[in-house]
Chains A and B, each alone.
Chain A
Amino acid sequence: MAEELNSHPINRRNLLRLSGYSLGGMLVGGSVLTLAESLAGKATEPLNQKVEELLLKPQTPVPEFPVSAIEPNALIINTYDFTPNINLNEFRLVVDGEVNNPLSLDMSMIQTMPRKSMVIRHVCVEGWAAIVQWGGVPLRELIQLAQPKPGVKYAYFISADRYYESWDLASCLHPQTMLAYEKNGVPLPIENGAPLRLASPIKLGYKLSKWVVQVTLVSKLLPRRGFWEDQSYEWFAGL
């Protein structure tokens, strides 16, 4: 009787073995390997970062979308903590660091600078995306005005809610990277980062700081590189 039961290849014993291997594999995978996730990251992130740095075409705009493609409801407000209260009359954007001409600009001065508009895809690390129109001052205009010293390779961005970010200089100078004060044809709402937020199609959403108050140009990164990067998210985060 036992032989008949076990002679057919799809028998209880084989099904139990198959289930056992599968569940065992997943148990090992799920729990044991999860403990090693930061090792997996450290092993391959330098390589992945090198690849995406090579993929970036520093002066080539990425394709944009028609205004009809804008998805206003898809742009989720993903504020992680609180929305700061900014007095627009007292607001100044500071551009400093290793520069010859540090800046302190109010919004009226910023709005006299060259203005660019673009319709691009915003991509969040959570896996959602939204087509959005941004209008604002190209970041490279501000950086050029501040006259960075030779050797400057990075920029830190400080926000009014104490969120902080750092970028590579090449991505800062990309033609589609801007400090935006307009969204979908209207002045930027406070919950989306008014008066000024970073906007660009070449980096993940968490690198696009809201409520930017200070841009600091440096030749070396500090140990702390960004709110999410300091919690092991990618630093370059190129799309």
Chain B
Amino acid sequence: MPQPDTENDAESAGRFVVIVVRSGGLAGLSKQWRAEPDPDGLPRWQQLVESCPWDDAPAASRGADRYQWRIEVHHGDTAVHQARLDDGQVEGPWRTLVDEVRQAAPSRPVRR
């Protein structure tokens, strides 16, 4: 099971952490969610992560005030994946990953 958010995060070597930050929107408020799977859940989380098309940068959406999503995967101190998506681009495997992270950890406001 994913573990609750702690402040002692990616410093610990070998930890697998997925961070989702939602920013923008009309209000410009940011929220962050973070999942840190335990060893039993790691294969499933790795599969969720690797099913996302990290290298295919989606075209920017039209419009304004859409949410912007930043999705990061850290292994220990190393950021192994990062993507920025507009709200309308969070679909398919991205939507699955984001929903899993949001369910795994309560949100917290981001300190700017």
Partners in one complex: no
Chain A contacts to B: CB under 8 angstroms: none
The chain B residues found within 8 Å of chain A, CB to CB, are none
